[in-house]
């Protein structure tokens, strides 16, 4: 009784805003619903088109490639960048380290729109952009950053967001490693680098795995910052799967096809989730802290 009273409201809300939309999406994926909101069931037509069986969608291979490149770029940046910054900042004196970490946490503290436009504006292709402004002050010609290197820029913008979280998680994990362990390593003859390599990083195994899984799923689904910075362009060069689904449904009003793209994303997510749960074990994931000492 008490269980249903306490969990009831959240189960209701999750059902209303999560499970029902997912179900609706699944249903819409089998229709040809468009801006008129009229629809009829067309069976697997959307998926056949998507997989290139009939009247194939010419953008799909490119979208897949973009998504893979995007995830392959942001994920290592997030994990290695976060690891590097946390190890570095934990070596600084307390106040300095805190200051340093606070700066790198800013991306997550400010509204997404601000962060997105900050990047868009910094790499603006005219002399009114930050970097081009500096270049023109030095008498250098402007560079059309967002046209020349759009993928690099969206990867960096999202990577730094990832770094801000992973750095925080790794730093607190490092802080919870007992001083005695690193002192013992020092006594045993380890240099700072050896202590980091053989003691600290192995002890961060769980936080690293958790952050990898978390960010993998987060990046597969992410589109907000790309939309704000490049809008997927120039000409689909930064259009990733979820952004393509969004554009299809809400820019071109092809709700049916957009829903089928989203359905694929849902399936990919479920597979990833199962892999993660299998690797970590649900019981262990919700168990106690994972810095083993």
Radius of gyration of the chain (CA): 23
CB-neighbour burial class of residue 271 (10 A; exposed 0-12, middle 13-18, buried 19+): exposed
One of 7, 15, 191, 279 touching another protein (CB under 8 A) = 191
| Number of DSSP helices (H) and strands (E) in the chain, helices first | 17, 0
- CA distance linking residue 207 with residue 78, whole number of Å: 13
Which of the ranges 64-72, 101-109, 150-158, 194-202 carries the binding residues for another protein, by CB under 8 A? 194-202
One of 50, 185, 208, 243 touching another protein (CB under 8 A) = 185
Nearest approach, Cβ of residue 96 and another protein (Å):
19
Q: Which is nearer to another protein, 174 or 203 (CB)?
A: 203
Q: Which is nearer to another protein, 194 or 269 (CB)?
A: 194
Map residue 116 onto helix, strand or coil: helix
Helix (H) or strand (E) holding 159, with range, is helix 150-175
Nearest alpha carbon to residue 156 among 217, 84, 78, 87: 78
Which of the ranges 8-16, 158-166, 177-185, 233-241 carries the binding residues for another protein, by CB under 8 A? 177-185
Which of the ranges 99-107, 125-133, 188-196, 228-236 carries the binding residues for another protein, by CB under 8 A? 188-196
Contact 66, 240 (CB under 8 A): yes
One of 114, 134, 184, 271 touching another protein (CB under 8 A) = 184
Residue 193 interacting with another protein (CB under 8 A)? no
One of 153, 199, 229, 261 touching another protein (CB under 8 A) = 199
Distances (CA, A) of 28 to 25, 119, 257: 5, 35, 8
Which of the ranges 2-10, 69-77, 92-100, 179-187 carries the binding residues for another protein, by CB under 8 A? 179-187
Residues that contact another protein, how many (by CB under 8 A): 20
Nearest alpha carbon to residue 220 among 78, 51, 59, 33: 78
CB-neighbour burial class of residue 115 (10 A; exposed 0-12, middle 13-18, buried 19+): buried
CB atoms inside a 10 Å sphere around CB 236: 16
Contact 270, 257 (CB under 8 A): no
Which of the ranges 1-9, 122-130, 176-184, 236-244 carries the binding residues for another protein, by CB under 8 A? 176-184
Residue 41 interacting with another protein (CB under 8 A)? no
Contact map string, positions 201 to 220, toward another protein, x by CB under 8 A: -xx-x---------------
Nearest alpha carbon to residue 75 among 208, 216, 268, 170: 216
Q: Which is nearer to another protein, 202 or 234 (CB)?
A: 202
Site for another protein in 254-293 (CB under 8 A): 292-293
Residue 190 interacting with another protein (CB under 8 A)? yes
Chain positions contacting another protein, by CB under 8 A = 178, 180-181, 183-191, 194, 198-199, 202-203, 205, 292-293
């Amino acid at each position: 009784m008490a269980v249903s009273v306490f969990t009831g409201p959240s189960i209701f809300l999750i059902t209303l805003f999560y499970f029902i939309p997912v179900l609706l999406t699944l249903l819409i994926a089998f229709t040809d619903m468009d801006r008129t909101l009229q629809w009829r069931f067309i069976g697997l037509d959307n998926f056949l088109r998507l997989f290139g069986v009939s009247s194939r969608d010419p953008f799909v291979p490119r979208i897949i490639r973009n998504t893979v490149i995007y995830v392959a770029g942001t994920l290592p940046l997030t994990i290695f960048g976060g690891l590097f910054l946390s190890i570095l900042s934990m070596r600084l004196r307390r106040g300095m380290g805190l200051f340093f970490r606070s700066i790198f946490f800013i991306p997550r503290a400010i509204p997404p729109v601000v962060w997105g436009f900050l990047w868009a504006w910094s790499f603006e292709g005219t002399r009114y952009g930050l970097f081009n402004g500096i270049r023109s002050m030095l008498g250098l010609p402007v560079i059309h950053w967002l046209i020349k290197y759009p993928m690099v820029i969206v990867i960096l913008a999202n990577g730094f967001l990832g770094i801000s979280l992973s750095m925080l998680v790794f730093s607190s994990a490092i802080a919870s490693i007992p001083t005695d362990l690193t002192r013992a390593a020092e006594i045993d003859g380890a240099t700072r680098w050896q202590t980091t390599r053989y003691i600290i990083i192995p002890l961060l195994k769980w936080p690293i795995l958790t952050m990898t899984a978390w960010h993998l799923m987060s990046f597969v689904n992410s589109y907000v910052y790309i939309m704000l910075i490049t809008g997927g362009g120039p000409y689909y060069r930064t259009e990733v799967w979820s952004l393509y689904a969004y554009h299809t449904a809400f820019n071109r009003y092809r709700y049916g096809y957009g829903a089928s793209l989203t359905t694929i994303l849902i399936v990919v997510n479920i597979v990833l989730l199962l892999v993660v749960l299998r690797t970590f074990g649900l019981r262990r994931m919700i168990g106690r802290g994972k810095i083993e000492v």
